[in-house]
């Protein structure tokens, strides 16, 4: 939805009118503006400037074939692991869709006041992630540049539509989990890339994503205090229906399956390293004093998390068996 300017400047609603009517998105955006300002100032204090170009080994770069008549890309030039190649492409294409993400959050949160300052600052920080990863991939010849460019065109031409555009609270809840998911994905990609330079770059990017998560998580905390029942519903819905932002990219299912087995991102990681840290920090399962709708959402969330944990345990067992088979096959050769 679009927040019309007149709604942004309307007088704050009285507590009495809210207790019965519930919170509209426009009212929530106004009510949270002060929190956004505090969190924005805190973010600007802790976010240190860094230079993406310092993380790219330019001395390894050389001309490609085509216009400049250099050397064509071939697989043996790539020094990152096969798993690292898949993960780097997924992460880069996810970052590449920033124009669509910007559109979605600017439409939801607006471009004025503290919200607007955050939206633009966040976009600027996200912008360097795609730049830095692409520079690294091209300078080191880590992946096929033609395939990469074609995948970028296909992916960006599709655009990205938020699953949560219908609700401000769902949008805030989603980004709190999604920023942490992105952080973990970058960090694990670096870890499995086989290149310490790549690992160093992705650790730096993961640090940005962590600060984004903290911003949205603190905002979600305030939302749970202001509108506990509605915020609880939003958290439950978002956790239950969670999809990674890059789900629409070419070959996503296949890549995601390989990343799961390889340990870059899977159900266990999603449950233990993404959902639980945010939920525990916000004490979501311990929040009391909820109305019937909030209680219902909290219970649904609890049931879902137990089922997810059980599913993750089954995945762990399948993964261990598959890796053992692979190791045995490798030993035979
Ligand atoms: Fe990013
Ligand atoms: Fe981020």
What is the distance in A from the centroid of ligand 2 to the CA of 247? 16
Q: Read off the pTM.
A: 0.92
- Tell me whether residue 300 is annotated as binding: no
> In whole angstroms, what is the distance from residue 265 CA to residue 315 CA?
12
Which numbered ligand comes closest to the C-alpha of 211?
A: 2
Whether residue 323 has pLDDT greater than 60: yes
Q: Are 290 and 242 a contacting pair, CB within 8 Å?
A: no
For residue 151, what pLDDT band results from cuts at 50, 70 and 90?
Answer: very high
Cα(15) to ligand 1 centroid in Å equals 38
Percent of the chain with pLDDT over 90: 91
78 or 331, greater pLDDT: 78
Place of tokens 């994503």: 209
- 310 Cα–ligand 1 center, Å: 30
Distance in Å, CA 16 to ligand 2 centroid: 37
pLDDT at 123: 98
CB 265 within 8 A of CB 199: no
129 labelled binding-site residue:
yes
Comparing 16-30, 89-103, 239-253, 284-298, the range with the smallest average pLDDT is 16-30
How high is the pLDDT of residue 333? 78
The pLDDT of residue 158 is above 70: yes
Q: What is the pLDDT of residues 18-57, one digit of tens each?
A: 444 589 999 999 999 999 999 999 999 999 999 999 999 9
pLDDT for the residue numbered 6? 35
Report angle CA 322, 260, 299 to the nearest 5 degrees: 115
**Would you say 186 is a known binding-site residue?**
no
Give the mean pLDDT of 218-247.
97
Decide if pLDDT at 16 tops 50.
no
Please report, for residues 72, 199, 276, 302, 318, the alpha-carbon distance to residue 180 in angstroms, rounded to integers and kept in the order given. Answer: 37, 17, 11, 20, 25
With a cut of 80, say whether residue 257 has pLDDT above it.
yes
Residue with tokens 């955050």: 118
Least confident of 17-21, 75-79, 106-110, 293-297: 17-21
The whole-number average pLDDT for the span 129-148 is 98
Report the chain's mean pLDDT, rounded to a whole number: 93
Structure tokens, 247: 């789900």
Given a cut of 70, whether residue 318 has pLDDT beyond it is yes
Please indicate whether residue 51 or residue 14 has the higher confidence score (pLDDT).
51
179 is in an annotated binding site: yes
Cα(132) to centroid(ligand 1), Å: 10
Report how far residue 322's alpha carbon sits from residue 230's, in angstroms, rounded to the nearest whole number. Answer: 42
Q: Which listed ligand is nearest to 132 at the C-alpha?
A: 1
pLDDT tens-digit series, residues 162-191: 999 999 999 999 999 999 999 999 999 999
Distance 303 CA to ligand 1 centre (A): 31
* Helix, coil or strand: residue 49: coil
3-state helix, strand, coil in the chain (%, to 5): 75, 0, 25
Residue 241: φ, ψ to 5°: -105, 15
Mean pLDDT of the 242-264 span: 94
Annotated ligand binding at 126? The verdict is yes
């Amino acid at each position: 939805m679009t927040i019309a300017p007149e709604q942004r400047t309307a007088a704050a609603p009285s507590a009495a009118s809210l207790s019965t009517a519930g919170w509209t998105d426009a009212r929530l955006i106004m009510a949270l503006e002060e929190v956004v300002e505090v969190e924005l100032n805190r973010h600007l204090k802790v976010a240190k400037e860094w230079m993406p170009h310092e993380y790219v080994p330019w001395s390894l770069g050389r001309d490609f074939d085509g216009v400049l008549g250099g050397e064509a890309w071939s697989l043996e030039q790539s020094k990152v692991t096969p798993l690292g190649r898949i993960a780097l492409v997924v992460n880069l294409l996810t970052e590449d869709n920033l124009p669509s993400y910007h559109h979605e959050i600017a439409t939801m949160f607006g471009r004025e006041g503290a919200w607007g300052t955050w939206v633009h600052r966040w976009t600027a920080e996200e912008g360097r992630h795609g730049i830095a990863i692409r520079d690294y991939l091209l300078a080191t010849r880590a992946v096929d540049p033609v395939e990469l460019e074609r995948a970028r065109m296909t992916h960006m031409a599709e655009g990205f539509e938020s699953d949560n555009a219908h609700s401000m609270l769902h949008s805030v809840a989603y980004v709190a989990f999604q920023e942490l998911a992105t952080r973990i994905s970058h960090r694990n990609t670096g870890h499995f890339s086989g290149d310490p330079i790549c690992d160093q770059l992705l650790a730096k990017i993961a640090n940005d994503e962590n600060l984004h998560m903290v911003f949205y998580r603190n905002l979600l905390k305030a939302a749970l205090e202001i509108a506990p029942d509605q915020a609880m519903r939003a958290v439950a819905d978002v956790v239950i229906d969670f999809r990674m932002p890059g789900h629409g990219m070419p070959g996503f299912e296949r890549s995601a399956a390989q990343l799961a087995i390889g340990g870059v991102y899977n159900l266990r990681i999603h449950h233990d390293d993404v959902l639980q840290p945010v939920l525990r920090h916000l004490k979501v399962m311990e929040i009391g004093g909820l109305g019937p709708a909030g209680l219902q959402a909290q219970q649904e969330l609890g049931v879902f998390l137990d089922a997810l944990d059980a599913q993750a345990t089954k995945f762990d067992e399948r993964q261990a068996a598959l890796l053992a088979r692979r190791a045995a096959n490798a030993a035979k050769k």
